[in-house]
């Protein structure tokens, strides 16, 4: 696994590189500014990017937006000093796969990197089907019948998790642990926001609804 870390704080970057190489066996390349980071990230050489939000020359959100606009779907973990809901939602909508707030414990970074690696491996599989819906894990595309449903990266990850667990009630804690890896208490409202986004796109124009609320327990994907 080759990982790119774009972080202008050299001590933080070295700390991440040393830990991921020594404890996880990954090959880690460092970049200290946004312009160089974007160039390296666009090369197709890396399988995961750890990207700081505040960078000289080109900020992390701009890098992420430009990567996704170019069709590059490499998993991206954002590092940020901000934990406000609006900042996190903005990053997720731009295509971030995870967020980690500074300062952080290395064990938490490790766990989130491993989760992104597992998810990336799952996304290289065959098409996933449920009811009249199908998901393309390679290109992150979704259809109901012949209608393509355009989703953000985070919306796709959430839907894919629900499809893989269709028929099961998923609590907010389940969803947080498997789709965000965030501390559950901090991000409860973000889960509800994204379920609402997903429901409007997946169910809005179709007579058969798939995403349902189970009061007091969470959400379930089922027909009708």
pLDDT tens-place string over residues 24-51 = 889 999 999 999 999 999 998 898 999 9
66 and 89 belong to one structural domain? yes
Taking alpha carbons only, the member of 149, 141, 143 closest to residue 131 is: 143
Instruction: Answer positive or negative: Cα dihedral of 168, 170, 174, 180.
Output: positive
CATH number at residue 104: 3.40.50.2300
pLDDT in tens, 169-200: 998 888 887 787 555 554 568 888 899 999 99
Domain residues for the domain of 158 are 128-221
Element counts in the chain: helices (H) and strands (E): 8, 11
Domain stop point among 100, 122, 144: 122
Q: What is the pLDDT of residue 83?
A: 67
The pLDDT confidence band at residue 213, using thresholds 50, 70 and 90, is: very high
106 and 169 belong to one structural domain? no
99 and 146 belong to one structural domain? no
Altogether, the residues listed in the chain come to a count of 224
Domain stop point among 72, 94, 122: 122
The total of structural domains in the chain comes to 2
161 and 205 belong to one structural domain? yes
Taking alpha carbons only, the member of 23, 140, 139, 31 closest to residue 79 is: 31
Domain stop point among 78, 102, 122: 122
Strands, sheet with 27-31, edge to edge from the N-terminal-most edge strand? 27-31, 2-6, 48-52, 76-80, 98-101
- Please calculate the CA angle 194-148-190 and round it to the nearest 5 degrees: 5
Taking alpha carbons only, the member of 136, 190, 188 closest to residue 163 is: 136
Q: What is the pTM of this model?
A: 0.61
Please state the three-class secondary structure of 86-145 as a single string: HHHHHHHHHCCCEEEECCCCHHHHHHHHHHHHHHHHHCCCCCEEECCEEEECCCCEEEEC
Mean pLDDT of 54-60: 95
Residue 66 token pair: 């430009």
pLDDT in tens, 131-174: 999 998 877 889 999 999 999 888 998 999 899 889 999 988 88
Q: What is the pLDDT of residue 4?
A: 97
112 and 175 belong to one structural domain? no
């Amino acid at each position: 696994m080759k990982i790119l870390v774009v972080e202008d704080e050299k001590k933080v970057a070295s700390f991440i590189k040393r830990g991921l190489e020594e404890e996880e066996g990954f090959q880690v390349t460092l970049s200290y500014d946004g312009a160089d980071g974007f160039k390296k990230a666009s090369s197709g050489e890396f399988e995961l990017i750890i990207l700081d939000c505040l960078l000289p020359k080109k900020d992390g959100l701009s890098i992420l937006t430009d990567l996704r606009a170019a069709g590059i779907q490499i998993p991206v973990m954002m590092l940020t000093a901000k934990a406000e809901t609006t900042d996190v939602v903005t990053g997720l909508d731009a295509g971030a796969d995870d967020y980690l707030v500074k300062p952080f414990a290395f064990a938490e970074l490790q766990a989130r990197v491993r989760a992104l690696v597992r998810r990336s491996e799952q996304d290289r599989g065959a098409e996933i089907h449920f009811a009249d819906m199908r998901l393309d894990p390679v290109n992150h595309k979704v259809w109901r019948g012949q209608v393509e449903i355009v989703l953000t990266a985070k919306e796709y990850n959430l839907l894919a998790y629900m499809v893989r667990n269709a028929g099961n009630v998923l609590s907010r804690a389940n969803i947080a642990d498997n789709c965000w890896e965030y501390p559950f208490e901090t991000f409860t409202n973000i889960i509800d926001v994204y379920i609402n986004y997903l429901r409007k796109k997946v169910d809005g124009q179709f007579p058969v609804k798939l995403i349902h609320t189970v009061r007091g327990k969470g959400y379930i994907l089922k027909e009708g």
